[in-house]
C-alpha cells in the first residue's frame, strides 16, 4: 500500500516560456533515461508548453507509460500566507515575492494536487508528475508537515528529481530532493536564482 511520487520540474524554458531550450530538451531526455527502469504507472504533467514538452521527451524514453495532462500539475501559487504567519524579519520580502504573481485558483489546485498525487494507494504505485517549482515546493512542504507558508524558499532545478514515499504505516518520507545526478555539470542548476547557481 505504497505510492512513490516522482516530482520533476520542467526542463529549462525559452525566455518567452513557449517551450524548451536545447538544454531543456537534453535535460528532459536524460531524465527519461534515468527513469527507464522505474515501473511508472503514469506520467502526469501540467498544461503549459514547457511541462508538456518535458513530459513528451521523458515519455519517448518510456514508450509504454501513459501520459496525462492535469491542471493540478500546473503553474500556480499554492498558498498566499498572511503576514502574521511569516518570520517577522522576512515577511515583507516573502509577501513582495508572492505579490508579483496574479491571484488565481491556486489554493483549489493545490488541494486537488494533494488529492490526486499524494497518500498511500492499493498495492504499490510509481507515478511521475512533471510540474513547476511552486508545486514541487508545496508537495515537499506537505510531506514534511511544515507550515503552509514554507513552500516559499524551496527551489527546484530544471529536470531535477524529487521522490516522496507515502505508505500506510508511516509518515510521508522525502527519499531525495532536487537530485541532479542524471545531468552533466553544464545542465545542472538551471531554474535557480543566479545566486544559487553553482
Q: How many Cβ atoms from other residues are within 10 Å of residue 69's Cβ?
A: 14
- Cα–Cα distances (Å) from 111 to 22, 40, 73, 107, in that order, read 34, 23, 11, 6
* Alpha carbons 95 and 83: distance in angstroms, whole number: 7
Per residue in 36-73, pLDDT tens? 999 999 999 999 999 999 999 999 999 899 999 999 99
Instruction: pLDDT band for 197, please (50, 70, 90 cuts).
Output: low
- pLDDT of 157: 96
Dihedral in degrees, nearest 10, Cα atoms 24, 28, 30, 31: 130
Confidence of residue 195 (pLDDT cuts 50, 70, 90): confident
pLDDT score, position 72: 98
Instruction: Report residue 137 as a C-alpha cell.
Output: 515546493
- The pLDDT assigned to 193 comes to 79
Cell numbers standing for residue 71 = 491542471
- pLDDT surpasses 80 at 22: yes
pTM above 0.75, yes or no: yes
Owner of C-alpha cell 518520507:
173
pLDDT of residue 198: 62
pLDDT-derived band of residue 10, with 50, 70 and 90 as boundaries? very high
Reported as type and span, the H/E element at residue 117 is helix 106-117
CA–CA dist 20, 58 (Å, integer): 13
Closest to 95 in 3D by CA, of 85, 81, 76, 75: 81
Span 118-133, mean pLDDT?
97
131-164 tens-digit pLDDT: 999 999 999 999 999 999 999 999 999 999 999 9
In whole angstroms, what is the distance from residue 53 CA to residue 31 CA? 13
Amino acid at each position: 500500500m505504497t505510492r512513490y511520487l516522482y516530482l520533476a520540474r520542467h526542463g529549462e524554458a525559452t525566455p518567452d516560456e513557449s517551450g524548451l531550450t536545447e538544454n531543456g530538451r537534453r535535460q528532459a531526455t536524460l531524465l527519461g533515461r534515468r527513469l527507464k527502469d522505474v515501473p511508472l504507472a503514469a506520467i502526469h504533467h501540467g498544461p503549459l508548453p514547457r511541462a508538456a514538452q518535458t513530459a513528451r521527451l521523458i515519455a519517448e524514453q518510456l514508450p509504454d507509460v501513459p501520459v496525462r495532462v492535469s491542471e493540478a500539475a500546473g503553474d500556480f501559487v499554492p498558498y498566499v500566507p498572511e503576514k502574521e504567519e511569516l518570520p517577522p524579519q522576512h515577511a515583507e520580502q516573502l509577501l513582495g515575492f508572492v505579490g508579483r504573481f496574479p491571484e488565481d485558483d491556486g489554493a483549489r489546485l493545490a488541494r486537488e494536487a494533494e488529492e490526486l498525487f499524494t497518500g498511500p494507494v492499493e498495492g504499490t504505485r510509481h507515478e511521475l508528475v512533471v510540474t513547476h517549482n511552486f508545486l514541487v515546493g508545496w508537495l515537499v512542504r506537505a510531506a514534511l508537515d511544515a507550515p503552509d507558508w514554507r513552500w516559499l524558499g524551496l527551489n527546484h532545478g530544471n529536470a531535477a528529481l524529487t521522490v516522496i514515499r507515502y505508505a500506510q504505516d508511516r509518515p510521508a518520507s522525502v527519499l531525495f530532493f532536487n537530485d541532479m545526478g542524471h545531468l552533466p555539470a553544464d545542465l545542472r542548476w538551471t531554474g535557480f536564482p543566479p545566486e544559487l547557481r553553482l
